[in-house]
Structure 1
Amino acid sequence: MYRTLPALAAVLLLAGAAVACSDEKPDAKPPTRTATPKEKAAAAEPKKLGDVYSAKLDAVSDGATAHCQSPSSTACGNDIGAIMIVVSDIEKDIDANGGASNYPKSTQQIAKMRAAQEEYDNNGCEGDPGADDPNSDCWGSATITVGATILTMTLQTDDLT
Structure 2
Amino acid sequence: MRRTILPILAACLALAGCSGTDDEPDAKPKATATSKAASPSQAPEKLEPIWSPKLEEAAGEEGESTGACQLPSSNACARYVGDIMAVVRGLETAIEETGRAYPATTKQIVDMADAESEYEANGCQGDPTADDPNSQCHMAVAVTVGATTLGITLLTDEVGL
Same fold (TM over 0.5): yes
Aligned residue number for residue 59 of structure 1:
57
In structure 2, distance between residues paired with 1:64 and 1:86: 14
Q: Contact 1:109 / 1:150 at 8 angstroms: preserved in 2?
A: no
RMSD over aligned Cα, in angstroms? 2.5
Aligned residue number for residue 127 of structure 1:
126
AA at the equivalent of 2:136: D
Percent of pairs with identical residues: 44
AA at the equivalent of 1:94: I
Aligned residue number for residue 92 of structure 1:
93
Gaps of 5+ in 2: 1-24, 30-38
Aligned residue number for residue 113 of structure 1:
112
- Structure 1, residues 103-123: CA drift from partner, whole Å, max 9, x if none? 000000000000000000000
Look up the SS of the partner of 1:72 in the other structure.
Answer: coil
Give the count of matched residue pairs.
129
Aligned residue number for residue 136 of structure 1:
135
Look up the SS of the partner of 1:127 in the other structure.
Answer: coil
Gaps of 5+ in 1: 1-27, 33-38
Q: If each structure's helix is expressed as a fraction of its own residues, which one has the higher value?
A: 1
Q: CA deviation at 1:149?
A: 1.5
- Structure 1, residues 51-101: CA drift from partner, whole Å, max 9, x if none? 1111110111011011111100000000000000000110001101124xx
Give runs of ≥4 in structure 1 deviating > 4 Å. none
Q: What TM-score does the superposition give when structure 2 sets the normalisation length?
A: 0.72
> Which of 46, 49, 52 pairs up with 1:48?
46
